[in-house]
Amino acid sequence: MRWRFLAAGLPTPRVQVEVADGYRRHRLDVGWEEELVGAEFDGLGAHTTRQQLAADRDRHNWLTERPWTLLHFTAVDVHRRHVRMVDTVARHLGSPRRTIMVL
């Protein structure tokens, strides 16, 4: 996912961005701290049980109140819909996409 963002000419995201408010903290897969935009890669194994889904939604809401924009992507986005994925991130960053490699 990160490689797609870099290949498209988006600003370089930081990996494992920590967001904390004193008593609670979470890490984002990648993020752009100045713009408060994060992107998460959601694999099937880590997001399939009721408990995992509830924890994911709680985390998403908490981050949104901080006020991060949290975008979620899957393997389908990274491998088959990467142009749309990059365009979505670019809109949130206010950054035009310059180039994209299709593999």
Instruction: Tell me the average pLDDT across 51-75.
Output: 91
**pTM exceeds cut of 0.85:** no
Predicted local confidence at residue 97, as pLDDT:
56
Could you tell me which of 54, 65, 56 has the C-alpha nearest to residue 21?
Answer: 65
In Å, the largest CA–CA distance within the chain is 43
* Beta-ladder partners of 20: 25
Rounded to whole angstroms, the Cα distance separating 56 from 60 reads 6
Q: Categorize the per-residue pLDDT at 101 as very low, low, confident or very high, splitting at 50, 70 and 90.
A: very low
DSSP 31: E
Residue 15 makes CB contacts below 8 A (sequence gap 6+) with: 2, 29, 30
Predicted local confidence at residue 95, as pLDDT:
72
